[in-house]
Structure formats: structure tokens, C-alpha cells
Chain A
């Protein structure tokens, strides 16, 4: 029995710690990702400490966690003492009420807080940026409070009530009695509560996501928006350090507790041991630093003599100085010192759209995709651009003007573009079979074929194959596409999005449709991979373009930024890092000639003619398509 118990204990530990071990391993790996271990390196850590952007995010997260947990600890403790003083029946009711927010789904808490902040900020205080650092802080304090109360309450219940009586009996008024006696008794509960609150704050995504403005973003919120590129290994290094920090923190606390228990029996008069005292000083120092950093940030953040330009873009969708690239935002700020860029990110068009339509934030520049631009134009969410401020618009190639989504070229300036084609492995796939989209239905390769995990791209392929318009609103045509997609299911390995990188590079799958830019990345990592564009059947030509949303406050600065990005040299430097194609031919001279001449990255005009843009589908049609796709996937 004892033996089985021991085995189970070991198993549980393995179960709990294996994921962390893999992360730590990944952070020291020279290989590109977890599937390929090559060697040992500290390079990820070096990169991490050179990455100002990541460090700033980490700082933000630590700042908000420390501030929020410290404030919540004070308030929560006071509240717990208050609740404890209530009559038992009332106490029970109040405890239930304080526990509810904890069990409430984060998403509900997040949305309701966001609504409240926007309502109070915009409607009652008349601010235009109602979602700020402060709302984030308030939200974190709000969801931290129950954890502190929950941890302090049992300690209060355990405490001999006559201890407080005794203190008062010996001459203490109620407040000193609390500090001299009660506080010592409930301290373990307070510390656990504070640590719990801190960790809850540190890894909160859902609530932070809804209540943070664009001026102050925490690490989890940003990491979630990293969908344009796979997560960089330096992020593993950061997570490893975070884990180590928490681990060491818990370990020291336990050790100190042990030691102080021992010391207390031996030492005279000093009720605080040396270790405890150092620990307290350290804790006080950390809190002080956090407060200083907080005030410093606010003092800095509220400086108003310079214009703040709020840019809202996909994660990892602008060259940020890493890997020897140009740091575009910094270069812009250097050129226009009176403008300070505030950069934040989203991970899908839909999320950007809902964030903007919820209100409460100020955004001056966004980079949505074609169909979303069409929708936003239709809903009056974009401002017409003043092209006098964007002289570099002249460099944009004609093939990217007069598009389906912005036929009059009034609202958008193309940022990148790309095609959707088929990536296949030449080692396994017979070139003779590469004739068109039907390759994705080829039974010969059953089990080795991947398909898009999103409805629009998946239906697009079926539409090209069946010869329908990709922007059709005919339900019968959509039904036919769904049938076609169902036919494909037996040969499919799985529906994917980002997972495609690993699966194709490892040759676990041989055929998959994907975006050309990403295909190039995969082809670089596995030379057996090739890209094919079914020109005759047609293919999706997607464009992400820069637009100014109607909530913009600094339209002119935004136009300056658009102009800056349209500078051929800048565009080249930017796209070199981003990996997508530039719509500016003039830029090609600054790019690697090999890339420019690659037909995958830059298909010729004669090819591009066959590409079509997605445009916005009416709400009911896109919903219908979504439900059909769900049906197909669950079939």
C-alpha cells in the first residue's frame, strides 16, 4: 500500500512538472521549435534581455500584479476583519456574495467591467479614453479581492477571539490591538492571499483583455495576439524565468518559515528573526519600487506636450528591431519627435472589430484585412483619408488599387498582400497530381492532407474548385460547397491554422493550403516543400491595408505614419522582417533579389490577374457559412 502511494505521488509530480520541464528545455534549445532539439544555448536569454519590447511588457505585467495584489491585500484584509465582525448569519451571506465573483466566468466579469468603465468614463466623465492603466488596475484589484478575503477569513475564524479582548484589556485601543495582535495571527493568511492575488493578476488574460486600453498592455494579452508568426523561443526563456521566480519565492518563504520557527525557540527578546526581518525589508522594498515605478509611469504617461499616436495592429506584424531588423516605430518617432507611438496588438480581424465597436478606446490607425475593411466602410467605422498627407501613395502598385473592398481608394492604403495556394512536399507528392485545388481531395494522399480551420478560406477553396464567385450570397452555392467539403473529410488528416508550421515541416502531412508568406517560411525550413498557385481555377489574393477608424483623434499623425510606411525603403525593411509581400514595386530594389524574383513571394502581374479579393459578406450569409462549416467539421 505504502509503495503504491509512493508511486502515485511520484506520478503526480511528474504530471505536474513535466510541462514546466519541457518549457525550460525549450528555452535552452538551439533548434527553432520544440519538435527539433539541436543543442544547448543561452542565446534565448541574451535575446530576451535585448528585447526592450518584451521586457517592457513583462514590466507592465509585474507592475500591475504587484500594485493590484498589494492594494487588494490591504482592502481585502480590512474587509475580512469587517465581515468577521458581522453576526454569523449576515457573515455567511456576505461571504457567499464575495465568493460569487470568483466563480463567475472571467469573460462575464471582463465584459461587465468593460461596460461599466466605458459607461462611467465616456458617459459620466466625458473622457474619450475610458479604458486605461487605471481601469486595468481597478479590474485587477476587483478580481483579486475575493482571493485575499478567502484566505484571511479562515485565519480570523481560527484565531482565539479573546486575543483581541486581551489586547484591549491590556490597554490597546481597537486599531493598535489589530496591529499588535490580530495582524500577527492572520499574517500567514494575508501572505497566501497576496501571493495568490499576485499570480492571478500575473496570468490573467480574459479580464485584462476586455478592460485594458491600448496605452498599457500586459504580457498575456500581447502574447495571445502573436498569431502572425509562431512564438519566438525568447518567450520560452521569459516564461522559464517567471516560473523560476515564483518557484524561488515560494521556496524562500517556506524556508524562512521553517527557520523562524526554529529560531524563535532559541533567541531572546527578538520576536522577529533575522531572516524574517530581511524578508520583510525585501518585501517592503519591492512594494516601494512598484509604487515608484507606478508613479513614474503615470508621470511619464500623462505628459501631454507630445502627440500620442495609437496604432492597433496584428501581433508581430511590424519590424520590431529583432533579428537585426529596423525598428520601424522607433525610426518613425526619431523622424517625428513630436509624435509618440503607442502600439498595441490584436489577433484577428473580428477581435479588432469588436474592440472598436465596443468603444472606450482611442485608435488612430488599424491594419485590417480586405473583407473587414469592406464591412467597416459599410458601417461607417472608417474615415476617408487625406491623400495630400500621403504623397508616397504614388508608389503603391496599380494592381492593388481599385479593389473590391475599397473600389474608390478612399479609405485604405495597402500594407501587405499575399496569395493563398497549396504547399506540398515534393518527396511524397507526384508533380503530375499537382493540377489544381482538387489535389486537396486526392485519395492517393489520404491522411496526409491538411485543410484550413476557418470557414472563409475553406469555402473559398471549394468555390474556386466549383467555379463559383467567392463573394457569393447564394445559399444554394454555399450548400454545394459544404457538400464538396464533406467529400474531402475522408482524406483529411485535420483542420489546422498555426499548427501547420510544425506538421508540414516535420513531414507529418504532405499537402496543405496556406498563405504564401507563411509557406515561404516553411519552405526555408524544409527544402522538400514547394508552393503551387492554381491560376486557372483562381485563388484568393488577400490584402491587409492601413485605415483610420472613426474614433481616431490624431488623424494627421496617422496619415504621416501611413506615408512613412509607404516609403519604398521603409516598406522594404519592414517586409523583410514581416515576411509578407510589399505592394510597392519600388521597394523591391532594397530587398534580397532572391526573394523578389521568387514567384511564390511575388507572382507576376499576369498571375495576379487571376486572384480575387474577399469582400464583406452580409451578416446572415457569413453566419450561414459558419454554421455550414461547423456541420462539415462535426460531420
Chain B
């Protein structure tokens, strides 16, 4: 891409003896759309607030354009923020909200007027100048918040779960809108969310975090297709995760069978986690299957059915467009490219079993509630 703009080195953060961030090392490139993704309490908002200057790290450094900015207060950073609940000023109208930063900077009236109008154009809010904030819809408030931040022409825009308060349709529209704005302005966006779909669809780079640590950094496709551990595999999409043994390169054994796979570079007979995405599984008549199991429940999801199938006491989630009634027996086939092998980690055994289907599938960590602190 282009040059490095921000770097976090060995960042740790503690509140009242509780470790919120544990050795974060991360860099951000200019013009990049980077997303910090993770469940609540994972440290993503803390990281964002440290970059914004609202928090000082317990240890480690933040560099911006090569200079350490740990002690630079927010009002001196070339960074602006779009806050979780927008934090628009209720006593000011749309125009004055957007003009706020420019007025503080004491720009000329003409300049302010020109730039505010330009921003109104970009966020499609022309004609709303005199509206009071309370008379705007959620999506409009969102745009004002973005305009208010961008009008100052920051090098970096921080967005803290900006779409969390919007309904699904609006969220989709705003995702496209944000991407468009980012490309039009050509600046770095650092985006915080717990919504994996949002992260995958908008970002150039996704950083998956959990328990104050970075679990994986990569392009969205890589994160999805090559999760590094059970946490990532489970958090990004749905995964069946099984215990297996890597017999040799391209040969993995689980469920008492040996399967061909596309992974290599493991030690001989290394115990591993095997990830199989629910949508990759082909359902075949029982006689033709690698494995044969019984359907225990079926849920209609619109595009597909989610079916839970029991294989030898282990429950899998399978996504299929064909209906299979509960109680029926089916067979499945696994192609080598459907099988993804991961090293064992602290997260092994915690995810990937759909025995307690409903609780698991309701996305256990996904509440849009308050982040840490």
C-alpha cells in the first residue's frame, strides 16, 4: 500500500490492576481502512482511545509520522474521532456542529462556510444546516458526526462502533457510504467493531483482538479462510472445530478417518485443531458419505437452512439450501480445500462444538453494549 503512519509498540494498559491491553504491536498505513475487531472487553476501544489521545498507555509507545505522541493531548493530534453514540452537541444545529472544530481553529467565516458546505455535500446533508440534532434520524446524526470530524481534514479518522446504534438496513447503506467517503477523502480510517461481517466487507486490513491481545492481522479473505486459532475461526463466521492429528503434510486424521487436506508444515503426528466451515460441507446420500450422521434440528434462515447433525456424539453445524428433516440420516463429503488445519492454542476445545446450539449460535459475545471502561 503506502507508507506507515501510526505504530503501536508493546502497548499495555491497566485499570485498577486489571490488564486491558497486553503487549499490542501494530502499525497503520496511510490511506488504509483498518478494523479492530473483537468481542466487548477485548481492548479494541481502549486501543482506539489511546490513539485518539483520550487515554495514556500504562507502558509502550504510540508514534505518529515517526514521532512519539504518548503525551500529546487530543486537541493537538491530527486525528479526529467519530464517537460511539456520535456525541453531537445538542445545543448546536447541524451547521454549527460541523463548524465546531473550524471555529475553534479560528478560521475565517468564508473558509468555514465553504468547508462546511463541502462536507454537507459529501455526507449528503445539504439543506439540513439549520436542523436541530434531536430532529435528525440516527443515520443523519451519523453523517453529521462523520462530517464534523472530517471537516478538520485529519490524517486519521477513528470510528468507534459508529453503526452500532443503527438498524440493519441503514447499517448496510452506511457501510457502503463510509467506504465511499474513505476513498473519496483518501485518508486513514481506523474502525472499531464487534460485527465481523462489517469488518470483513469494509476493511483493507482486519485486526482480530481478544483479551487484550491481537489474535490475527490480515486481509479479510485471509482471516476468514485461514484463521490462526479456534477463537478467530469461531468469531469470524461459523466453524466446526475438531480435534485431529496431522499425520504428515496434506494428511490429517479425525473421527477415525484420514482426510486429504491442503495444509503442510506441521510436525509429524502433531495434535491440531481442524476447522470445517458449515457452508463448505456437501451433503450426500448416506451410502456415499465420508461420515454418516443424524439431523437433530433444522432452522430456516432465509438463504439457507442451518441444520445440526450428530456424528458419533459430536454436533456439527451445516448450512445447506436443501431441506433435511430432523431425524433423517445423511452423509457428508469433505473436499481437501474444505479442511483448514490450525496449531493448538489456548482457545482449543473452547469453540466449534454445536452441542449447545442455540446459545452458541446466538453469537455469545455479540452485544452492542458498552465497551471496557
Contacts and interface: CB of A to CB of B under 8 A. Distances in A.
Given A171-B105, A265-B135, A269-B95, A163 B130 contact: no
Interface in A603-623: none
B152 A170 contact: yes
Interface string B116-146: 0000000000000110100100000000000
A184 B96 contact: no
Interface string B290-302: 0000000000000
A181 interface: yes
A268 B91 CA distance: 13
A171 B89 contact: no
Interface in B65-109: 73-75, 79-81, 83-85, 87-93, 95-96, 100-101, 104-105
Interface string B257-293: 0000000000000000000000000000000000000
B54 interface: yes
B104 A271 contact: no
Contact of A166 (B83, B129, B132, B135): B83
A65 to B, nearest CB: 29
Contacts of A169: 52, 54, 74-75, 79-81, 149
Interface residues of A, number: 23
Interface string A160-178: 1011011111111100100
Contacts of A269: 93, 95-96, 129-130
B105 A162 contact: no
A184 B90 CA distance: 9
Given A162-B84, A169-B74, A171-B105, A184 B89 contact: yes
B87 A165 contact: yes
Interface string A267-281: 111010000000000
Best-surrounded residue of B52, B101, B129 (most CB of chain A within 10 A): B101
A165 B104 CA distance: 14
Contacts of A268: 93, 129-130
A330 interface: no
Contacts of B80: 169-170
Interface in B139-179: 148-149, 152
B74 to A, nearest CB: 5
Report which residue of B73, B74, B132 has the largest number of chain A beta carbons within 10 angstroms of its beta carbon.
B74
A92 interface: no
Contact of B89 (A168, A173, A181, A264): A181
B75 A168 contact: yes
A171 B81 CA distance: 11
A181 to B, nearest CB: 6
Interface in B44-74: 52, 54, 73-74
B226 to A, nearest CB: 36
A556 interface: no
Given A165-B54, A165-B74, A271 B92 contact: yes
A185 interface: yes
A267 B130 CA distance: 7
Nearest to B90: A185
Nearest to B76: A171
A165 B83 contact: yes
B31 to A, nearest CB: 21
A160 B141 CA distance: 15
B73 A170 contact: no
A181 B90 CA distance: 9
Nearest to B145: A166
B154 to A, nearest CB: 9
Contacts of B54: 165, 168-169
Given A163-B87, A269-B96, A170 B104 contact: yes
A181 B148 CA distance: 15
A265 B75 contact: no
B155 to A, nearest CB: 14
A267 B93 CA distance: 10
Contact of A185 (B52, B91, B101): B91
Given A160-B85, A165-B83, A268-B129, A170 B148 contact: yes
B104 A171 contact: yes
A166 B81 contact: yes
A265 B89 CA distance: 15
Given A163-B89, A168-B74, A271 B96 contact: yes
A180 B79 CA distance: 20
Interface in A137-183: 160, 162-163, 165-173, 176, 180-181
Contacts of B85: 160, 162
Nearest to A272: B91
A181 B79 CA distance: 20
Interface string A448-481: 0000000000000000000000000000000000
10 contacts: A162-B85, A165-B54, A165-B83, A166-B87, A167-B89, A168-B54, A168-B75, A171-B101, A184-B90, A269-B95
Given A166-B87, A168-B74, A185-B91, 16 more contacts: A162-B84, A166-B81, A166-B88, A166-B89, A166-B148, A168-B73, A168-B75, A169-B54, A169-B75, A170-B148, A170-B152, A171-B105, A173-B75, A184-B89, A184-B90, A269-B95
3 closest residue pairs by CB, A with B: A170-B101, A162-B87, A166-B87
Interface of B: 52, 54, 73-75, 79-81, 83-85, 87-93, 95-96, 100-101, 104-105, 129-130, 132, 135, 148-149, 152
